Amino acid sequence: MKNLCFILLCICFSKLSSAADTLSSSQNITDGNSLVSPGGVFQLGFFSPGSSKSRYLGIWYKNIPVQTVVWVANRGTPINDSSGHLMINTTTGALVLLNNNKTVFWSSNSTKQTQNISPVVQLLDNGNLILRDEKEGANSESYLWQSFDYPSDTLLPGMKLGWDLRTGLNRRLTAWKSPDDPSPGDFIWEMQLHNYPEPAMFRAGKEFLRSGPWNGVLFSGKPAKALPALNFSFFMDENEVYTTIGMVDKSALGRMMLNLTADYYRQSWIWSEADRNWTLYAAFPRDPCDSYAKCGGNGNCMLSASPMCQCLDRFRPRSMEKWSLNNFSLGCERKTPLRCKNDGFVTYTGLKLPDTTHTWIDKAMNLKECRAKCLSNCSCSAYTNLDVRGGGSGCAIWFDDLVDLKQIPGGDQDIYIKISAAELGGKDKKWKIGVIVASAVAVILAMFLFVYCYILRLRRRKSFKGTQNNIEEQKDEDLELPLFDLPTIEAATNKFSINNKLGEGGFGPVYKGTLIDGKEIAVKRLSRSSGQGMKEFKNEVILIAKLQHRNLVKLLGCCIQGEEKLLIYEYMPNKSLDSFIFDEMRRKLLDWPKRFHIICGIARGLLYLHQDSRLRIIHRDLKASNVLLDREMNPKISDFGLARTFGGDQTEGNTNRVVGTYGYMAPEYAVEGQFSVKSDVFSFGILLLELISGKKSKGFYHLNHDQNLIGNAWRLWNGGRPLELIDEGFGESCNLTEVLRCIHVSLLCVQQQPDDRPTMSSVVQMLCSESALPQPKEPGFFSEKDLVGGGFPFLNNEASYNGLTISLLEAR
């Protein structure tokens, strides 16, 4: 009978005026009506995300053109029609979402008593939807329920990310499953309740990103002063543990969100009133070192090092064999094991503090007492201050391996890591002799292993024959790559029909094909008249077969039969980058956000080749036509026929056969045949200028001077007019701060001297941060005369400048 009365009352409820910010117990919100916060900042109502037809109750910014949803009530229970309405259940005092059949799709859960109250719902200007007692008054913060306690995928200023320890409430963010489906996915950002709490991100229950614990000023994984527009705070007592964000400019609009479909999983956005658009202010991960436990236990991830993973001082790889293959999962171990007694400490500065799963803290201890506590516990591996302010206070100690370390640029927090007294200059001679002998044995074994691997590799290369049968015998051992027979490829490409031809590269045509199972492929057919022979072909096969990165094109297989040499790649429906940026019509499809996304993708792909792949790889022919675009316009570096591999610490080489493309070659490579990771950086700088300007490096012409694209950019930069370089097609999509930063980075990349150019790890970091950049020096090849008159003194009169990859043979 009580429920029947409740239903009858619901029917008699009045609809809400769309201008109201409150909802009383006698009103409801139907689909088409809404609440608007008092200052008109936020709006609550029904919406359908993306292409979905389902209806959800959500909160979004009212006056922003593109609907930006920050909270969804019925994330996992959509309404299939427009019959939804929101109301207060006068029996329970809860906020409920129903349809015409009185099916409950969502309900607020209040932990407070709701008897003898007059519940009112209000949408606040900070985006918080609250249920309060009307008798408490509008200024009371004693809420019966609030949406800020149940976040969706967005953290707004003033929201708490963390725990209410009294009720067990975990305020955490969960990403949408897709742009069309706001239901909770498997991607979560939450506060970890370790003894030393810290925020972390999880995907399918597995931790993969970590901010580092709070040190009184910031989270230790964040560079100091990296995000000056945001305020971070952290609070911890016996009742609550949480972090919040705030805007330094209180009048600015900002938000932080999780986005599983983007390159950056945690994004900070600030609204630009001038551009009438959201600006991506900060993103996480910032660089490859943000990946959780990338270098294993006791391994330190350093962007400036090569390889990126380095053992801490006085540590060594647990498995030298795996470490030499860039497999860092086993991490590092102390060169001399701890003896528990008489151990000491080494001070490390500027590290992201280790994973805090196995920690112990004491807020009252000073640093001296903390040291003594760590020494007295044989399992203690490191200690530091809880709070670095005012000279430091509190104690945090770690047990076992130190996991997820990273070198932070400008970081100044110290951590004290326990080391054997023998490593600190102790007098135990026998122990030292043992260490020396063990090290010598390890070096000898490593040398034997290196020689063995080298001989084995030579034998494998020698055994690689130019026939399909020979390759078939070796595919499991060498290539790890499927082999296709010629009839299959001929059928897929309609016998290499001209209608299937996608384009012509330096080494032959490329065709689109469709396999019998419907899978689309791209087939690179080596031209008999090209400069590429079996050596280059095998180089590309062996190299790409072992490369795995989202910004490198994937090689699916190969075919060698008779005189036919074919490479089968994944099909890129948007073809190459040059077909967009140098085409008057298609260039308009690449607004600035898309181009910046492409720039960052190419940079990450090149960083992988230089530092993160099994061997250091120098591409030697990076250019717009060798960057392919998939359906989502993600860039993928392709064409590795000219690539060279290095091992160990080798970073450069020399050749008498200069290969590459006119307009992209670094000066030292074109003139002297010296190539290195820095020559690839030069090519990236050229590509960056082309993406910004929409002009080709080769063939650029200006009425008032004979400078090429590099020279024009340098002239405008020195003249304080860099914005004149920008492609006019960007229109309102242009983020001037990002564009100017990219111009700055490009000029750093094309400096004359290789040592002056940044590494790709530095480039990635510069693109993704707002730190100050050094001033660029004069670039190389900044006029056409440099290129043709003096740049290539060994070119003969028959050299080709048609934009294809060319071979330049130096006469010596």
Instruction: Verify that 414 and 526 share a domain, yes or no.
Output: no
Domain boundary among 286, 302, 337: 286
Rounded to an integer, the average pLDDT of 414-422 is 92
In a domain, 463, yes or no: no
Confidence of residue 398 (pLDDT cuts 50, 70, 90): very high
Sign of the torsion angle spanned by Cα atoms 302, 307, 309, 313: negative
Entry pTM: 0.55
- Please report which confidence band the pLDDT of residue 512 belongs to, taking 50, 70 and 90 as the band edges: very high
Pairing verdict, β 14-15 and 27-30: parallel
Buried b (16+ CB within 10 A) or exposed e, 309-327: bbbbebbbbbbeeebbeee
Query: Three-state SS across 83-103?
Result: CCEEEECCCCCCEEEECCCCC
Could you tell me if 633 and 771 lie in one domain?
A: yes
Distance linking the first and last C-alpha atoms of the chain? 102
Cα distance between residue 339 and residue 316, in whole Å = 18
Q: Is residue 90 part of a domain?
A: yes
Whether 455 is in a domain gets the answer no
Kindly state the DSSP code that residue 786 receives in the 8-state scheme.
Answer: I
Share of the chain above pLDDT 70, in %: 80
Show contacts of 142-146: CB within 8 Å, 24+ apart: 144/93, 144/110, 144/112, 144/114, 144/117, 144/119, 145/94, 145/95, 145/108, 145/109, 145/110, 145/112
Quick one: 254 exposed, middle or buried, by C-beta within 10 A (0-12, 13-18, 19+)? buried
What was the pLDDT predicted at 809?
A: 30
Q: How many CA atoms lie within 13 A of 529 on its CB side?
A: 3
Residue 28, domain CATH: 2.90.10.10
φ, ψ (nearest 5 deg) of residue 361: -130, 155
Average pLDDT over residues 680-706: 79
| Region 383-408 average pLDDT | 93
What mean pLDDT do residues 187-214 have?
Answer: 92
**When comparing pLDDT for 117 and 66, which is higher?**
66
Q: What is the pLDDT of residues 293-338, one digit of tens each?
A: 999 999 999 887 888 899 999 999 999 989 988 899 999 999 999 9
**Among the three residues 115, 130, 150, which one is the final residue of a domain in this structure?**
150
Question: At 353, is the pLDDT very low, low, confident or very high (cuts 50, 70, 90)?
Answer: very high
- Look at residue 44 and tell me whether its pLDDT is greater than 60: yes
Give the model's confidence band at 797: pLDDT under 50 very low, under 70 low, under 90 confident, else very high: very low
Q: Which sign does the torsion angle of CA 91, 95, 100, 102 carry?
A: negative
Statement: residue 542 has pLDDT above 50: yes
Range of the domain at 325: 290-426
pLDDT at residue number 759: 93
Provide the residue type at 812 as one letter.
R
125 is catalytic: no
- Reported as type and span, the H/E element at residue 379 is none
Is residue 83 within 8 Å of residue 72, measured between CB atoms? no
Is 598 found in the same domain as 739?
A: yes
Contact 395, 386 (CB under 8 A): yes
User: 458 in a domain, yes or no?
Assistant: no
For residues 146 and 353, what is the distance between their CA atoms, to the nearest angstrom?
34
Tell the residue number behind the tokens 């930063």, with chain if given. Answer: 741
CATH number at residue 158: 2.90.10
In this structure, is residue 431 part of a structural domain? no
Q: What pLDDT, on a 0 to 100 scale, did the predictor assign at position 503?
A: 80
Over 60: is that where the pLDDT of 811 sits? no
Beta strand 240-247 with 161-164 is antiparallel
Give the span between the Cα atoms of 748 and 763, in whole angstroms: 9
Last residue of a domain, one of 234, 257, 286: 286
Across 85-99, 122-136, 716-730, least confident range:
716-730
CATH number at residue 294: 3.50.4.10
What pLDDT sits at residue 51? 92
Confidence of residue 271 (pLDDT cuts 50, 70, 90): confident
Q: Which of 133, 478, 621, 727 is catalytic?
A: 621
Q: Which of 167-176, 254-263, 306-315, 798-807 has the lowest mean pLDDT?
A: 798-807
Is the Cβ–Cβ distance between 287 and 277 less than 8 Å? no
Confidence of residue 802 (pLDDT cuts 50, 70, 90): very low
d(CA 293, CA 737): 33
Whether residue 391 is found in the same domain as residue 402: yes
What integer pLDDT is reported at residue 374 of this predicted model? 94
Mean pLDDT of the chain: 82
User: Do 690 and 608 belong together in one domain?
Assistant: yes
Residue 207 exposure: Cα atoms within 13 Å on the Cβ side:
18
Our measurement of the distance from residue 199's CA atom to the centroid of its chain's CA atoms, rounded to an integer in Å, reads 18
Which CATH number is 561's domain given? Answer: 3.30.200.20
Other beta carbons within 10 Å of 632: 9
| 610 shares its domain with 539 | no
Judge if 750 and 707 occupy the same domain.
yes
Residues 734 and 589 in one domain: yes
CA distance 394 to 362: 6
* Residue 145 domain flag: yes
Split at pLDDT 50, 70, 90, the class of 699 is low
Mean pLDDT of 116-129: 91
Residues 614 and 757 in one domain: yes
Domain assignment present for residue 586? The answer is: yes
At 442-490, the pLDDT tens digits run 777 777 777 766 666 665 454 444 434 444 433 433 445 678 889 999 9
Q: What CATH number has the domain bearing residue 631?
A: 1.10.510.10
Instruction: Determine, yes or no, domain membership for 676.
Output: yes
537: pLDDT strictly greater than 60: yes
* Residue 288: CB atoms within 10 Å: 19
Q: Are 563 and 589 members of one domain?
A: no
303/194 same-domain check: no
Domain count, the chain: 5
Paired residues of 301 in beta bridges: 309, 406
487/367 same-domain check: no
